[in-house]
Chain A
Amino acid sequence: MSSNGPPIQYRVFRLPKRGDSGDCEDAAAVDLQRGRFAIADGTSESSRAGLWAQMLVDEFVQTPAPQPGAWLPAVQLRWSKEVAARPCDIATATWYVETRRLQGAFATFLGLVVEETRWLKRKRWRALAIGDSCVFQVRDGQLRKSFPVARSEDFGNTPDLLGSSSDAQGKELKKKVLGQKGDWCPQDRLWLMTDALAQWFLREHEIDGKPWETLEMILRAPVPETAFIDRIELLRNRQQLRNDDVTLVAVCL
């Protein structure tokens, strides 16, 4: 993207859920040149969900057209060639590993495009979401936009998902994809986060808190990665944050 102002900065934080294998099935990717940011949350009940989540975000930040209809089939094809077609010893593979492999992987997805058109001097962002990974826009200490979930109580157990098998997708894709757009100014923050942290963020905001100030403190800490882990662990200990994989991308405009 073209920009005359100070460069956009970002930071990515991830932490797996407690007590599991230590694998994080969330993924994040950024292409600053293109102004693309993406997060995805692989469902742990599906096969190799973390890899699928990573393939989705990697494709999104590199592909010319952001709409999933334009790039999803290519990722699904790559998945079927590189992952699903992996040699599998049918004789020894358990029925459930085999069934899971056929069912494929599933993930929620949030993609963000930050643009500045020089000739119109307009600063715009566009986001698209499938499921409950979220983006929040904060300006001058106020939450301006919350997408695609607006209230903490709206996080359910069955978010919409992108599947690795075209069979699982059917013709439902268009219905699942939600879009949002807005303007941005220098100093704005766009916070991308997966569901557990997003739910905490909205709940705090609903009781007149300013959760972004907590996140700002992490960014300003001497070692932000450590500050992030400490904060997440603290919120989990206080049972303010569900034990789940957490991904946070801070886009500092």
Chain B
Amino acid sequence: MPYTAEISRTNPSCFLFLIDQSKSMTEPLAGTTKRKADALSDAMNRLLQTLVLRCVRGEVVLDRFHVGVIGYGSQVAPALGGNLAGRSLVPLSELALAPLRVESRTRKVDDGAGGLVEQTIKFPVWFEPIADGRTPMCAALDLAWQFLTEFLAKYPACYPPMVINLTDGHPTDGNPESHAETVAGLSSNDGGVMLFNVHMSAKVERVIEFPDKEGDLPDDYARQLFRMSSVLPTVMRNTAQREGFPVSETTRGFAYNADLVSVIRFLDIGTRVDAKNLR
């Protein structure tokens, strides 16, 4: 049965994020004044923080996952910086120890006696917003294929890697569909690589999240991204259902015209694994 492999330090899985860094990412995200590039880097930093925290045991970060970020815009390259610059997939413990910087932010919390106290929390930043150049999505998918091929050669029995592509526009370097098929065609002994796509919009339009039918989609590009997106495995489908999405066995990991809330929600659902698989 697919998607049942143990996820452990000896048999890790991986998350690979493809981030559109093209010029159009300077536009504000639908319904906000925030630039898409800023909103996305904030969401990514939060997500990387969450992924690390999910694997902290005592004072140790368990390398259950390796994480990579590919940026595509003026160039197509690994997008983590600082000590991680140029690295493809990084074990979670290394990621945890090498943010670009750790900011201190304050928030108000319940003091347990009916009042509020200010609490300082640490906010690690790995990822800076970049928005420059065109949208070479095909090349980004090819680089993802290369990173994943190397990872799968090393961990052939791993829980299948999860790839999330976040973009705001059409690729400028060709038709991405066959490139996406090549990525999603990779597999471990436990099942196929999952490729999910999130399309972000500058306009306030109807957000489409986790669709299950191509025919319901508004235009050719949406239908193409739908075809490029994998069907959700059970654990993600269940999480999506708990979040209130109507799901079926053909629900795919795809969002169209996503606003900030849907991007964050998608990243949460699209990185879920069953706790039963974790060691």
Q: Assuming A157-B275, A242-B276, A243-B279, is B112 touching A95 (CB within 8 A)? A: no
Q: Which of A76, A95, A166, A242 is the one whose CB lies under 8 Å from B124?
A: A95
Q: Please tell me if the beta carbons of B122 and A73 are within 8 angstroms of each other in the complex.
A: no
Return chain B residues, CB-CB under 8 Å to A94.
59, 96-97
Return chain B residues, CB-CB under 8 Å to A76.
112
Q: What count of chain B residues pass the 8 Å CB interface test?
A: 29
Chain A nearest Cβ from B9, distance in angstroms? 9
Which of the segments B50-58, B151-159, B180-188, B249-257 contacts the partner chain?
B50-58
C-alpha gap A96/B112 in the complex (Å)? 24
- A174 near B: Cβ within 8 Å? no
C-alpha gap A166/B279 in the complex (Å)? 29
Q: Please tell me if the beta carbons of B109 and A99 are within 8 angstroms of each other in the complex.
A: no
Q: Please tell me if the beta carbons of B54 and A45 are within 8 angstroms of each other in the complex.
A: yes
Q: Please tell me if the beta carbons of A99 and B112 are within 8 angstroms of each other in the complex.
A: no
Q: Which of B119, B124, B279 is the one whose CB lies under 8 Å from A19?
A: B279
Interface string of A82-119 (1 = CB under 8 A from B): 00000000000011111110110000000000000000
Residue in B closest to A77 when the chains form the complex, CB atoms? B112
C-alpha gap A192/B235 in the complex (Å)? 28
Q: Please tell me if the beta carbons of A157 and B121 are within 8 angstroms of each other in the complex.
A: no
Q: Which of A20, A44, A166, A243 is the one whose CB lies under 8 Å from B112?
A: A166
- B274 near A: Cβ within 8 Å? yes
- B220 near A: Cβ within 8 Å? no
Return chain A residues, CB-CB under 8 Å to B96.
94-96
C-alpha gap A48/B59 in the complex (Å)? 10
Return chain A residues, CB-CB under 8 Å to B124.
95
Q: Assuming A94-B96, A95-B102, is B58 touching A21 (CB within 8 A)? A: yes
Q: Please tell me if the beta carbons of B109 and A167 are within 8 angstroms of each other in the complex.
A: yes
Q: Assuming A44-B57, A77-B112, is B122 touching A98 (CB within 8 A)? A: yes
Q: Assuming A45-B54, A102-B121, is B59 touching A97 (CB within 8 A)? A: yes
C-alpha gap A122/B58 in the complex (Å)? 46
Return chain A residues, CB-CB under 8 Å to B121.
99, 102
Interface string of B75-113 (1 = CB under 8 A from A): 000000000000000000000110100100000011110
Residue in A closest to B113 when the chains form the complex, CB atoms? A166
Return chain B residues, CB-CB under 8 Å to A170.
110
Return chain A residues, CB-CB under 8 Å to B53.
45, 96, 99-100, 103
Residue in A closest to B60 when the chains form the complex, CB atoms? A21
**Interface range on chain A: under 10, 10 to 19, 20 to 34, or 35 or more?**
20 to 34
Residue in A closest to B54 when the chains form the complex, CB atoms? A45
Chain A nearest Cβ from B64, distance in angstroms? 11
C-alpha gap A99/B99 in the complex (Å)? 15
Q: Assuming A73-B112, A76-B112, is B56 touching A96 (CB within 8 A)? A: yes
Q: Please tell me if the beta carbons of B57 and A157 are within 8 angstroms of each other in the complex.
A: no
Output the residue of B57, B61, B121 with the most chain A CB within 10 A.
Answer: B57
Chain B nearest Cβ from A159, distance in angstroms? 10
Return chain A residues, CB-CB under 8 Å to B235.
157
Return chain A residues, CB-CB under 8 Å to B275.
157
Return chain B residues, CB-CB under 8 Å to A77.
112
Q: Please tell me if the beta carbons of A95 and B276 are within 8 angstroms of each other in the complex.
A: no
- A240 near B: Cβ within 8 Å? no
C-alpha gap A243/B49 in the complex (Å)? 27
22 residue pairs of the A-B complex, CB under 8 angstroms, read A19-B279, A45-B53, A45-B55, A77-B112, A94-B59, A95-B96, A95-B99, A95-B102, A96-B53, A96-B61, A96-B96, A97-B56, A99-B53, A99-B122, A100-B53, A100-B56, A102-B119, A103-B53, A166-B111, A167-B109, A167-B112, A170-B110
Binding site for B on A (CB under 8 A): 19-21, 23, 44-45, 47-48, 73, 76-77, 80, 94-100, 102-103, 157, 165-167, 170, 242-243
Binding site for A on B (CB under 8 A): 8, 49, 52-59, 61, 96-97, 99, 102, 109-112, 119, 121-124, 235, 274-276, 279
Closest 9 CB pairs of A and B: A166-B112, A95-B122, A167-B110, A157-B275, A167-B109, A95-B102, A95-B124, A97-B59, A96-B56
